[in-house]
């Protein structure tokens, strides 16, 4: 299974971005999915997750109300829509896939990882 994250870039504070994670090798519908991010000098942290059915979603506290995770199984892709971006959102964003019905908010259970896409928010 290969994951390819894209959609990052440079945006001003208050702006928006939509990240995409294209999955190949196996159908994305077989996996629970998540986004994590890592800023320089910090640990990779959970941002958002979505269950295999798409009905279960979870967000890190600062992402609630600003970020929306979704999945398009027909496109073999998941998305992270981000609005009202803050400078603190600057990081490399990674998508991850996990076997099973339910996602997780920690790194360990995820089986596959993408290479990351850089998001830079200027204040």
Comparing CA positions, the residue from 14, 15, 63, 65 lying closest to residue 35 is: 63
Encode pLDDT of 57-114 as tens digits: 999 999 999 999 999 999 999 999 999 999 999 999 999 999 999 999 999 999 999 9
> Average pLDDT in the 3-20 region?
98
> What per-residue confidence (pLDDT) applies to 33?
98
64: buried, middle or exposed (CB in 10 Å: 19+, 13-18, 0-12)? exposed
Residue 119 — pLDDT band, cuts 50, 70, 90? very high
DSSP letter, residue 86:
-
Q: How confident is the model at residue 35 (pLDDT cuts 50, 70, 90)?
A: very high
Confidence of residue 45 (pLDDT cuts 50, 70, 90): very high
In this structure, the number of other CB atoms found within 10 A of the CB of residue 30 comes to 13
Pairing verdict, β 17-24 and 2-6: antiparallel
DSSP state of 44: -
Sheet with 67-72: strands ordered across: 2-6, 17-24, 77-82, 67-72
> Between the CA atoms of 63, 79, 123 and 9, what dihedral angle is there, to the nearest 10 degrees?
160
Write out the two tokens for 58: 């979870």
What pLDDT, on the 0 to 100 scale, is given for residue 88?
97
For position 37, what pLDDT does the model report? 98
The arithmetic mean of pLDDT across residues 24-50, rounded, is: 97
């Amino acid at each position: 299974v290969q994951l390819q994250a894209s959609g990052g870039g440079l945006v001003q504070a208050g702006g928006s971005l939509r990240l995409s994670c294209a999955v190949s090798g196996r159908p994305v519908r077989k996996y629970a999915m998540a986004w994590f991010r890592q800023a320089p000098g910090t640990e990779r942290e959970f941002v958002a997750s979505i269950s295999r059915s798409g009905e279960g979603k979870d967000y890190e506290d600062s992402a609630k109300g600003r970020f929306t995770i979704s999945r398009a199984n027909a496109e073999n892709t998941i998305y992270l829509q981000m609005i009202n971006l803050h400078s603190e959102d600057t990081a490399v964003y990674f998508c991850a896939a996990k076997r099973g019905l339910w996602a997780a908010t920690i790194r360990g259970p995820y089986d596959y990882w993408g290479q990351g896409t850089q998001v830079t928010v200027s204040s």
